Amino acid sequence: MRQDNRHADRRHDDPPETAPGVDVAQRHVVRVLVVAQILGGLGAGATLSLGALLAAETSGSSAWSGMAATMATLGAAAAAVPLATLAQRRGRRVSLATGSVLACCGALLAITAAYLSLFPLLLVALVLLGSGSATGLQARFAATDLATESTRGRSLSLVVWSTTIGAVLGPNLFEPGQVVAGFLGIPALSGGFVFTAAAQVAAALVYTAGLRPDPLLTALRRQAADRRADAPVPLKRRGFAVLAGNSGARFAVVTLMVSHAAMVSLMSMTPVHLHDHGAGLSVVGLTISLHVAGMYALSPVFGWIADRAGAVRGILCGQILLLGALLVAWRGAESEVAVTVSLILLGLGWSASVVSASSLLAGAVDVGERAPVQGTSDLLMNLAGATGGALAGPALVLMGYSGLGLAAAVLVAVLLAWTLARLPRSRSAAPAGV
């Protein structure tokens, strides 16, 4: 009997009939994801802000600073579909750990690029660092694999919220990073990436050890076990094919794209704008920290809104906040206080939009097609962010910070109008907004 028990203990991904209760498994998955996201979040706040300053320093021009956001988001876009495919085949555990390891490699390469003062090498490093963002985005969907319809938004938002701790600390590692850089004999701006590398290794270990049983594989086996013997097996389609026939999923993906593009374009240029106007690194770090806090700290509130009032209403709330943030940036570009307020509102609007749209997307598709659709969504979301980051640098030079805010506001206003048009049909929809 003891031998049989030991054999059972070795089976980490048990079939549905021997797996832990779904509620117990879901709570365990969320706890593991929360811990890993705290660690992974250490690099989220530092990558774009430190990367923007490092890009300007190694290239010799502020016009190139937007390439930090561009390359990081391109890296996240490039990793999205491969990581989703890996999740579909091997489970969330393998996929998320792989993304964290790639981000660690990017942090180490960024330090090397700064030491050698090689701008092209820094761009490659930022691409790899983007895998960390792709991993964080996939982690929020991992929280929905075993969630019920009435708790999907809250489960997702708890994982998003957990990024707050590490992400807020990240930008404030500027000065400790300078101390570490001095000790290691590397450039001052690259010291923060030492913390990023260590945190990503720790996150990979948490994913590998903690996500047992794997949530996505468990959900797929549950679906197969619940299917009637005479029921047809659903066709496995690629993400774009699913989106082509699902209006709710399309709306969710467009919301993610526009919200992310608006956020990245303004946020990535804020450190450069403040620095060029004489703000010190401590002020830049505080501003970005408050922005990142806005991105994550209130996400459980927005998850609750998505579950109780509907995802479309959550998206509406997010778009109003985003539009307000961009209008404040337009009118108050010369004020550090106004810029800080704008960045806080920008983070809150991004949070409400991403949590609600992600909840809508997760509930709009079949579990068997969830990973490829989510991978496609993250690909498009990050491509939109990369486009916003790429255009933000030249826009800052040509139109100034206020002009950049106004241009992004026009884009958000269009999406806000679409959201208002969808609102009546969502009144009779499910709580998740499907």
Q: Is the pLDDT of residue 239 over 80?
A: no
Helix (H) or strand (E) holding 79: helix 66-90
Please report the pLDDT score of residue 1 as a whole number.
Answer: 41
Mean per-residue pLDDT, 411-420: 94
Burial of residue 36 (number of CB atoms within 10 Å: 0-12, 13-18, 19+) = buried
Q: Is the pLDDT of residue 426 over 70?
A: no
Q: Is the pLDDT of residue 368 over 60?
A: yes
Please report the pLDDT score of residue 106 as a whole number.
Answer: 93
pTM: predicted TM-score of the whole model, two decimal places:
0.77
Please report the pLDDT score of residue 290 as a whole number.
Answer: 86
Confidence class of residue 227 from pLDDT cuts 50, 70 and 90?
A: low
Instruction: Name, of 15-24, 69-78, 314-323, the range with top average pLDDT.
Output: 314-323
Q: Is the pLDDT of residue 235 over 70?
A: no
Mean per-residue pLDDT of the chain:
83
The proportion of the chain whose per-residue pLDDT surpasses 90, expressed as a percent, equals 39
Q: Is the pLDDT of residue 367 over 60?
A: yes
Please report the pLDDT score of residue 21 as a whole number.
Answer: 62
Phi, psi of 17 (to 5 degrees): -70, -20
Q: Give residue-wise pLDDT tens across range 35-46.
A: 998 888 776 656
Rg (CA), the chain: 21
Q: Which domains does the chain have, with CATH numbers?
A: 13-220+238-425 (1.20.1250.20)
Identity of residue 5: N
How far apart are alpha carbons 366 and 226 in whole angstroms?
14
Residue pointed to by tokens 């960024």? 110
Please report the pLDDT score of residue 13 as a whole number.
Answer: 45
